[in-house]
């Protein structure tokens, strides 16, 4: 009986010493600052420097009390182009959400090969997921964001204008402004 009590106490102490260990840690881990790529065989737009804030810009009326939508902003590497995403239910982001509904693209602009690229509301496919997300994205440690999908952008070049389908993939660090 004493041996079982000793093992139980030892196990409890080990669990307390490792509180917060494993997959429940807050923060972006080893995610890079840039690495969210909108790309095809012809073009690659690299985004990062992401920040998020609980701005409540796209609230979900069905969200539980206290869940505030997140807005994520970022920039294109080597260009003045910006991106903006809005997540109505950040409490679901760790489990993965669908691009277009659970993860909305508000702005996605880019520059490459003498052309500009702009998201104009075309349907998107794929999913987004957060890792190291705590307090629905408001924890100061931040988190990492992983996206795997496709987006259609309007491409405007000096002599032509058309639309292009690009994969939107990668994992990148997100800093919380809250």
Q: Give tens-digit pLDDT for 51-74.
A: 999 999 999 999 999 999 999 999
pLDDT at 14: 38
pLDDT band, very low/low/confident/very high, at 178 (cuts 50, 70, 90): confident
Q: Are 150 and 167 in contact (CB under 8 A)?
A: yes
Q: Domain coordinates of the chain in residue numbers? A: 28-176
Cα–Cα distance for residue pair 85/51, rounded to 1 Å: 10
pLDDT at 10: 39
pTM of the model: 0.85
* DSSP sequence for 113-175: TTEEEEE-S---EEEEEEES--GGGTSTT-EEEEEEEEEEEEEE-SS-EEEEEEEEEEEEEEE
């Amino acid at each position: 009986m004493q041996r079982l009590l000793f093992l139980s106490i030892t196990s409890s102490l080990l669990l307390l010493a490792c509180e917060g260990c494993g997959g429940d840690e807050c923060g972006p881990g080893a995610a890079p600052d840039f690495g969210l790529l909108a790309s095809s065989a012809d073009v690659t737009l690299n985004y990062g420097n992401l920040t998020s804030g609980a701005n409540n810009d796209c609230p979900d009326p069905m969200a539980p009390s206290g869940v505030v939508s997140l807005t994520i902003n970022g920039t294109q590497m080597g260009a003045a182009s910006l991106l903006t995403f809005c997540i109505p239910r950040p409490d679901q982001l760790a489990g993965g959400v669908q691009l277009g509904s659970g993860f909305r693209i508000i702005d996605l602009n880019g520059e490459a090969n003498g052309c500009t690229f702009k998201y104009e509301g075309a349907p998107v496919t794929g999913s987004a997921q957060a890792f190291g997300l705590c307090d629905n994205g408001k924890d100061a440690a931040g988190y990492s964001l992983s996206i795997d999908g496709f987006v259609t952008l309007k491409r405007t070049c000096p002599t032509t204008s058309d639309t292009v389908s690009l994969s939107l993939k990668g994992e990148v660090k997100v800093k919380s402004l809250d």
